[in-house]
């Protein structure tokens, strides 16, 4: 986490630094980005940087968490909009996020995130003992999200199975984002792939409704 000093900074200076950081993390992955570039861009001395952040990763995960938070909000709003339909809300979340990735100013940043997605990036926020606030925020999110999901339409037995279903869905969503950014499939193709994969899941996970006759 950034230091208190960082948050005491005048708004403009803080924004300036954050913008420079976004530019660098859009240019390169966490591993390849350099503090040297950020401070050169933001015109702040080296020593100041270390007064605000522990290191490169500290800044990176701070930015990442901000973006993740807005993503979680979108997931929640989708679940509400689709009245708890897990598959429908996941589908719209996927499509809308992919669309944002296509046209968004943060496309390169997202690209670097997904092509270098690893355990640390995917879970650090959850497990980071140093960040109990963030940890709690994410726990709350999952609790709220799961309680929003309407289980009567799903072929699952209990909360635990719902949890695993969400885990599977998340893995599939991330995998498709990665393929998109890797250029393995274009926008339309990724959408089709995801729809097909959702369908494979649904055939069993939706409570039988008559279309199981093959």
Residues found near its own copies in the complex (CB under 8 A): 31, 114-120, 123, 127, 155-156, 160-161, 164-165, 167-168, 171-172, 175, 178, 181-182, 184, 193, 196-197, 200-208, 212-214
Select from DNA, its own copies, none the partner in contact with residue 129, using the beta carbon and a kind-dependent cut-off of 5 to 8 Å: none
Q: Which is nearer to DNA, 55 or 136 (CB)?
A: 55
- From the number of C-beta atoms within 10 Å of its C-beta (0-12, 13-18, 19+), residue 177 rates as buried
Interface with DNA, residue 47, by CB under 7 A: yes
Interface with DNA, residue 16, by CB under 7 A: no
How far is the first Cα of the chain from the last one, in angstroms, to the nearest whole number? 53
Candidate ranges 4-12, 111-119, 136-144, 197-205; the one touching DNA (CB under 7 A): 4-12
Select from its own copies, DNA, none the partner in contact with residue 193, using the beta carbon and a kind-dependent cut-off of 5 to 8 Å: its own copies
Q: Which is nearer to DNA, 48 or 175 (CB)?
A: 48
Work out how close the CB of 172 gets to its own copies at its nearest, in angstroms, rounded to a whole number.
6
Interface with DNA, residue 25, by CB under 7 A: no
Spatial CA neighbour of 128 closest among 57, 72, 71, 29:
57
DSSP-assigned letters across all residues of 11-60: HHHHHHHHHHHHHHHHHS-TTT--HHHHHHHHT--HHHHHHH-SSHHHHH
CA 173/CA 144 separation, integer angstroms: 20
Interface with DNA, residue 44, by CB under 7 A: yes
For residue 9, the 8-state DSSP code is S
Beta bridge partners of 154: 206
Stretch (H or E) spanning 4: helix 4-8
Work out how close the CB of 23 gets to its own copies at its nearest, in angstroms, rounded to a whole number.
22
Select from DNA, its own copies, none the partner in contact with residue 165, using the beta carbon and a kind-dependent cut-off of 5 to 8 Å: its own copies
Spatial CA neighbour of 81 closest among 70, 66, 91, 69:
91
Q: Which is nearer to its own copies, 36 or 195 (CB)?
A: 195
Interface with DNA, residue 5, by CB under 7 A: yes
For residue 161, the 8-state DSSP code is H
- From the number of C-beta atoms within 10 Å of its C-beta (0-12, 13-18, 19+), residue 49 rates as buried
Binding residue for DNA, selected from 17, 21, 42, 56, defined by CB under 7 A: 56
Contact positions vs DNA (CB under 7 A): 4-5, 8-9, 13, 33-37, 44-48, 50-51, 55-56
């Amino acid at each position: 986490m950034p230091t208190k000093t960082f948050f005491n900074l005048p708004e403009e200076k803080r924004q300036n630094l954050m913008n420079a950081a976004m530019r660098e993390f859009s240019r390169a992955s966490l591993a390849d980005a350099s503090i040297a570039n950020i401070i050169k861009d933001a015109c702040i001395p080296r020593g100041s940087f270390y007064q605000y952040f522990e290191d490169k990763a500290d800044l990176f995960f701070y930015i990442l968490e901000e973006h993740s938070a807005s993503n979680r909000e979108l997931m929640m709003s989708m679940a509400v909009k689709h009245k708890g339909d897990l598959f429908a809300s996941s589908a719209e979340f996927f499509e809308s996020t992919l669309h944002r990735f296509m046209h968004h100013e943060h496309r390169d940043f997202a690209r670097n995130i997904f092509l270098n997605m690893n355990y640390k990036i995917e879970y650090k926020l959850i497990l980071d003992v140093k960040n109990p606030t963030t940890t709690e925020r994410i726990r709350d999110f999952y609790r709220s999200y799961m309680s929003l999901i309407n289980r009567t339409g799903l072929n699952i037995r209990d909360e635990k199975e719902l949890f695993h279903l969400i885990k599977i869905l998340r893995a599939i969503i991330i995998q498709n984002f990665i393929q998109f950014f890797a250029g393995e499939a274009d926008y339309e193709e990724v959408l089709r792939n995801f729809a097909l994969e959702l369908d494979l899941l649904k055939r069993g996970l939706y409570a039988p409704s008559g279309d199981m006759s093959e």
